[in-house]
Structure 1
Amino acid sequence: MKNRLILSLLSALALVYFAVPYLPEIGTGLGGWFSGVWLFFALLVIGGNFSVLLFQKYPQESKQTITLRRPVKERKRIRQH
């Protein structure tokens, strides 16, 4: 799972790196709104992937084994006539 997160983070960063020069200048007008919204969503994706990488909890290996199941007692069959 960690490899997938790193791959998606790097691909989002590469997408921003290559797309920013082609975006219109942020200002008034439809092109400016598009650039602002696009950059907002791109930063949202990058921030989400980065936060998952930072705060992901990994299962810790315990040194003691804990048994949760109780030993099953053998039951005798009772005949009913």
Structure 2
Amino acid sequence: MRHYVVLRLLLAAFLLYVAWPIIPQETGFVAKLFWGAWLAFFILVVGGNFAALLQMVSPPVMEQKELRRRQASNH
């Protein structure tokens, strides 16, 4: 599950890398508004993925032993 969060962060970083050179070239009000909204959405995406990444913790040792026991009995 953790690798999906990292992949989404990498994809967002790649999209910013592609878009960054184009941002200063736009001069119209609508273009600036679009890029402002795009950057705000980028910050929301990165923040949400970092929050999801930080909330992923391993279960306590007792639960890990129970999960291993269940997996062993199922196979």
* Structure 1 and Structure 2 fold alike (TM over 0.5): yes
What is the correspondence of 1:5-20 to structure 2 with a 5 Å cutoff?
5-20=5-20
Matched pairs, number: 65
What is the correspondence of 1:2-81 to structure 2 with a 5 Å cutoff?
2-24=2-24, 29-62=29-62
Question: Percent of aligned positions with the same letter in both sequences?
Answer: 37
Structure 1 spans left out of the alignment, 5+ residues? 66-81
The higher radius of gyration belongs to 1
Q: How far apart are the structure 2 equivalents of 1:40 and 1:25?
A: 19
Report runs of 4+ in structure 1 exceeding 4 Å deviation: 24-28
Q: How far apart are the structure 2 equivalents of 1:57 and 1:26?
A: 43
Provide the TM-score with structure 2 as the length reference.
0.70
Higher relative contact order (CA 8 A, sep 6+): 2
Q: 1:37 to 1:26 in 2, by over 3 A?
A: farther
Residue identity opposite 2:15 in structure 1: L
Provide the TM-score with structure 1 as the length reference.
0.66
More helix by share: 2
